[in-house]
Amino acid sequence: MKIKPVKKYTPPAYPTITEAKQDARLLTTLPRRWGRNHHLATLLGTGLMLGAARGNDADAPQNAEAAAVLPRGGGEDADEKVVRAIPITRVAPMLEDALANDGRGGFGCMAISAPVFLSENEALDLIQAELEKAGLKLRDMVPVDGLQMPAAEREVVKIEGNDWREMFKPRMINLEAGTYMFDLGTADKSVVVKFLQKKDYEQWLAETGSHSSYESFNLSWLATQVAGAFRQRETGDPVVIGLFFEPSTYPLMQLDLRGLDDEQKFLARKQSGNLWQTRNDESWQARHDATKERGREKLRAQVSHFVEYLKQEGVVE
């Protein structure tokens, strides 16, 4: 046997682990030659889907209609090409690090160190600038029909008992099919994006009838729920949806609590977190600006992850 270097290599079109975790339907990818053996294809497809269903969110749809297409840059041998089952509505997988660490917080009661938010305008300006660098021409306020979205009439979810964990557990509002307005999108509506922020959390969250001096939010949770709702769209023109969410970045604080009792530790944390008491202090402004810059970098990482997905899908070069 004579070993020869590979002169041309076509990247495989199989979904990554991250993509498969966030959208189980991508596991229907099979080489074309496997499809000739109908028994094998059926067995593999069923096994993959069952495995994904066990490992994914139970609310994620598993049976959306899909179009079979060839990947960009396929090899010369047709037998070696891969057929991908791509849903009409593709919701891009979100950055795992952001889902695990960002978008959470609360106000009131004992929550004395509030996160720093990006304004809607600066967040959308950042998203648009990064996507236009990748070659997308975007316009404001692009509607897409046939998506599951908050119903006009909000239902109230009644919580039995006094378990505070159930009171603050987020629950999605009842949904109905409608036209959802995205923040940005291409003129042909083939790519649209939405920046989820606190007002969206309130829009998608079900009423529980419970009231407290403490208000919490979890935009990471919301992003996964919205993604699952949008993936249920099975008719209409093909669209790729990008979801981003407010990182809600907290100031970095380093406190030396050695030798302090519990009350002293509490007072030290309270003083360091009481930003409104030192609002005119230059040190507060510097810390605030640095925190906001970290938030911009976190959002930029989410957008970069989306751009990589678009490149992989052949949407942009």
Question: For each of the chain's 317 residues, which pLDDT tens digit applies?
Answer: 677 777 665 555 556 666 666 665 555 555 555 555 555 555 555 555 445 444 444 444 443 444 444 444 444 444 445 556 778 999 999 999 999 999 988 776 655 567 889 999 999 999 999 999 999 999 999 999 999 999 987 777 666 666 656 666 778 888 999 999 999 999 999 999 999 999 999 899 877 656 666 677 899 999 999 999 999 999 999 999 999 999 999 887 655 667 777 777 666 665 655 444 444 556 777 888 889 999 999 999 999 999 999 999 999 98
pLDDT in tens, 144-162: 999 999 998 777 766 666 6
Cα distance between residue 12 and residue 75, in whole Å:
10
Cα distance between residue 315 and residue 132, in whole Å:
13
Q: Is 107 left (phi over 0), alpha (psi -120 to 50) or beta?
A: beta
- Listed by start position, the domains of the chain span 17-87, 96-312
Q: Which of 108, 93, 39, 143 is nearest to 309 (CA)?
A: 93
Cα distance between residue 260 and residue 267, in whole Å:
10
pLDDT in tens, 116-140: 899 999 999 999 999 999 999 999 9
pLDDT at 232: 95
Q: Which of 151, 155, 162 is nearest to 211 (CA)?
A: 162
